[in-house]
């Protein structure tokens, strides 16, 4: 894919008002709006559509749908010129290698290229209104939601990237745009408040904090979580006059030990001090290692603090890239990919994780980490064959690298794939291994995840008592850990057990509670909310619950924006081939 800084032979702009430009010439203007619709569908569809499908999609009311389609295809050919082709049945669109399509740059490009797109932040095919094309409008709404979500993610990424490079003015601009697009996103608000603090504008930070609290109270009936509070406490640290290497090592060791023991706040304070002291040394490896340790504590510490963890990762990435620390860049980008995986920003996650593998070189632990998360992304998106392949490789690499805990997580995700593809006996095998590995390594913090999936497997197998026993244990452990994801997963399955026992009212109450639990913090595993919404919708349809339409609408919005796969209501099953961007 060409970059927008090159001189492409062809540029296709679908964000905002659509436009085609060949070389440095004038933009081509279609005479028919439906020509833009056909072109957009061909560009964005995962598979080449048949002529019959295209004709029915857009020309069903025409006297001769096939002829109307031929006319539009001819107009598109004139616009593209001889350097591209649009032929066959199914209709295959072939663009020159150096062509630039703005949506592709947005989805798969680096943020520095995406943010300068002419239509960045604008709606896909803005202003395109068609008559007698209801099916296409449904498809377009889904695509517009997804593009808006990707735009938000890129702006957030641009704010963090600019901040790590020291360009706070640019970072603030991107942060404001992201928060404006989605003001109820707690992470956007936290980032904006942090940027004001770092820029020394404490008054603006306090004002934004107050606005955020009022907005959340009015719209959601809750206060924003710890990420927003932490952002208001952000400050430019006064550095000590002298630095002792032994003190840095001791602080980092004490911080990591405190985090491992569950004393998250104390551990983060020690690791933060170690990072500030490491900066005084000016030694790149020490600075990167200290930030990476701090970021991992913030992200994996169950405190709703992924956002400040991301800030440390971006800082570490800037330092590591500047000083050629390839293995460190690989490890950092694997963590960045993990956060975007949790947030269901799958396009961005795949980019980071692909980068991690390219920088990992011979580092087997980094390869294992990145491959585990890539397999998890593929599973979330419903690409189960790829998920099996990646997770299988990751489990082998984790075993070879001595990464026992990563091996346990990979086995659990492979068990989930088997469950979701209707192979409960295979799922039981993988999950039992995952639990055994975690127990052998005394990794109790992850046990509720494979246990919750195993409980659902037993439910599918018809073992209600066995399912209830495993799920009660998973839920109790999750509550002890105060892990919202594990609580939500086990509670969802417990609701299905209640329904199977004829306790319908209780099933609804538990399932609604599962959704509340999984969203308790600002850094949830977003796929899990979709999985719970899918179960709520199915439960509601079976029993005629009056809130079913609202649950279905919420799921449709979520799957449109993220392209996740959670079951029969996923957009992947939509008849119009709502596109997964990994075509």
Give the residue from 316, 380, 300 showing the smallest Cα distance to 164: 316
Domain edge (last residue) among 424, 446, 468: 446
**Helix or strand run (H / E) with residue 100:** strand 100-101
Whether residues 560 and 523 fall in one domain: yes
Here the tokens at position 389 are 């392949």
Residue 310 is assigned to a structural domain of this protein:
no
State how far the Cα of 91 lies from the Cα of 492, in Å rounded to an integer: 43
How wide is the angle at C-alpha 148 spanned by C-alphas 146 and 153, nearest 5°? 95
Residue 254 is assigned to a structural domain of this protein:
no
Whether residues 16 and 125 fall in one domain: yes
Residue 95 is assigned to a structural domain of this protein:
yes
Residue 250 is assigned to a structural domain of this protein:
no
**How many structural domains are present in the chain?**
3
What is 133-150 written as a DSSP string?
Answer: -HHHHHHHHHHHHHHHHH
Whether residues 556 and 465 fall in one domain: yes
Whether residues 16 and 123 fall in one domain: yes
Per-residue pLDDT of the chain (583 residues; tens, 9 = 90+): 455 546 789 999 999 999 999 877 777 778 889 999 999 999 999 889 999 999 989 988 888 999 999 999 999 999 998 899 999 999 999 999 999 999 999 999 999 999 999 999 999 999 888 888 888 999 999 999 999 999 999 999 999 999 999 999 999 999 999 999 999 999 999 999 999 999 999 999 999 999 999 999 999 999 998 889 989 988 765 555 566 778 888 888 888 787 766 677 788 888 888 888 898 888 999 999 999 999 998 898 767 788 999 999 999 999 999 999 999 999 999 999 999 999 999 999 999 999 999 999 999 999 999 999 999 999 999 999 999 999 999 999 999 999 999 999 999 999 999 999 999 999 999 999 999 999 998 888 889 999 999 999 999 999 999 999 999 999 999 999 889 999 999 999 999 999 999 999 999 999 999 999 999 887 889 999 999 999 999 999 999 999 999 999 999 999 999 999 998 545 443 433 433 333 2
Give the residue from 547, 520, 484 showing the smallest Cα distance to 222: 520
Residue 367 is assigned to a structural domain of this protein:
yes
Here the tokens at position 582 are 């990994």
Whether residues 38 and 115 fall in one domain: yes
Whether residues 566 and 498 fall in one domain: yes
Residue 297 is assigned to a structural domain of this protein:
no
Q: Is-cis flag, bond preceding 141, omega within 30?
A: no
**Helix or strand run (H / E) with residue 361:** none
Residue 427 is assigned to a structural domain of this protein:
yes
User: Which residues, other chains included, contact 492 with Cβ-Cβ below 8 Å and sequence gap of 6+?
Assistant: 452, 511, 514, 528, 531, 532, 535
Whether residues 431 and 469 fall in one domain: no
Residue 470 is assigned to a structural domain of this protein:
yes
The CATH number of residue 101's host domain is 1.10.10
Give the residue from 413, 482, 476, 483 showing the smallest Cα distance to 450: 413
What is 233-252 written as a DSSP string?
Answer: T--PPPPPS---HHHHHHHH
389: domain range?
A: 346-446
pLDDT recorded at residue 37: 94
């Amino acid at each position: 894919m060409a970059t927008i800084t090159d001189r492409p032979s062809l540029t296709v702009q679908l964000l905002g008002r659509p436009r085609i430009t060949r070389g440095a010439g004038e933009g081509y203007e279609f005479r028919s709006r439906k020509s833009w619709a056909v072109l957009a569908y061909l560009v964005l569809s995962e598979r080449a559509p048949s002529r019959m499908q295209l004709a029915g999609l857009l020309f069903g009311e025409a006297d001769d749908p096939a002829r109307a389609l031929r006319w539009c295809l001819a107009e598109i050919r004139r616009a593209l010129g001889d350097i591209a082709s649009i032929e066959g049945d199914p209709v295959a669109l072939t663009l020159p290698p150096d062509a630039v399509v703005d949506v592709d740059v947005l989805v798969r490009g680096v943020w520095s290229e995406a943010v300068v797109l002419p239509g960045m932040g604008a709606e896909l095919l803005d202003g395109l209104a068609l008559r007698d094309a209801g099916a296409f409008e449904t498809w377009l709404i889904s695509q517009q939601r997804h593009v808006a979500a990707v735009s938000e993610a890129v702006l957030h990424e641009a704010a963090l990237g600019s901040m790590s490079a020291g360009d706070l003015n640019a970072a603030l601009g991107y942060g404001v745009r992201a928060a404006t697009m989605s003001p109820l996103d707690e992470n956007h608000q936290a980032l904006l408040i942090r940027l004001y603090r770092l820029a020394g504008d404490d008054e603006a930070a306090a004002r934004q904090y107050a606005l955020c609290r009022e907005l959340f109270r009015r719209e959601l009936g809750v206060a924003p979580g710890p990420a927003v509070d932490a952002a208001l406490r952000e400050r430019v640290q006064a550095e000590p006059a002298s630095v002792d290497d032994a003190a840095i090592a001791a602080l980092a060791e004490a911080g990591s030990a405190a985090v491992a023991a569950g004393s998250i706040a104390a551990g983060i304070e020690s690791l933060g001090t170690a990072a500030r002291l490491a900066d005084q040394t000016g030694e790149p490896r020490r600075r990167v290692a200290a930030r990476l340790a701090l970021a991992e504590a913030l992200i994996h510490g169950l405190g709703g603090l992924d956002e400040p963890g991301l800030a440390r990762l971006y800082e570490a990435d800037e330092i590591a890239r500047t000083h050629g620390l390839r293995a460190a860049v690989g490890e950092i980008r694997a963590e960045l990919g993990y956060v975007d995986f949790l947030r269901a920003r799958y396009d961005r996650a795949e980019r980071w994780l692909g980068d991690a593998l390219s920088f990992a070189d011979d580092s087997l632990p980094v390869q294992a980490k990145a491959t585990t998360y890539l397999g998890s992304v593929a599973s979330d998106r419903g690409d189960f064959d790829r998920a099996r392949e990646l997770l299988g490789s990751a489990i082998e690499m984790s075993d070879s690298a001595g990464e026992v805990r990563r091996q346990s997580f990979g086995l659990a995700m492979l068990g989930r794939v088997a469950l979701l593809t209707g192979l409960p006996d295979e799922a039981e095998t993988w999950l039992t291994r995952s639990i055994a590995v975690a127990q052998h390594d005394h990794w109790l913090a992850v046990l509720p995840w494979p246990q919750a999936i195993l409980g659902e497997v037993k439910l599918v197998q018809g073992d209600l008592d066995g399912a209830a026993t495993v799920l009660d244990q998973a839920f109790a452990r999750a509550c002890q850990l105060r892990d919202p994801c594990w609580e939500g997963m086990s509670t969802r399955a417990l609701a299905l057990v209640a329904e199977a026992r004829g306790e319908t009212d209780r099933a609804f109450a538990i399932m609604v509670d599962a959704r509340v639990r999984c969203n308790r913090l600002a850094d949830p595993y977003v796929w899990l909310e979709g999985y719970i919404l899918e179960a709520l919708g199915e439960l509601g349809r079976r029993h005629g619950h009056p809130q079913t339409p609202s649950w279905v609408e919420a799921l449709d919005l979520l799957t449109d924006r993220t392209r996740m796969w959670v079951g029969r209501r996923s957009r992947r099953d939509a008849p119009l081939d709502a596109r997964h961007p990994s075509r």
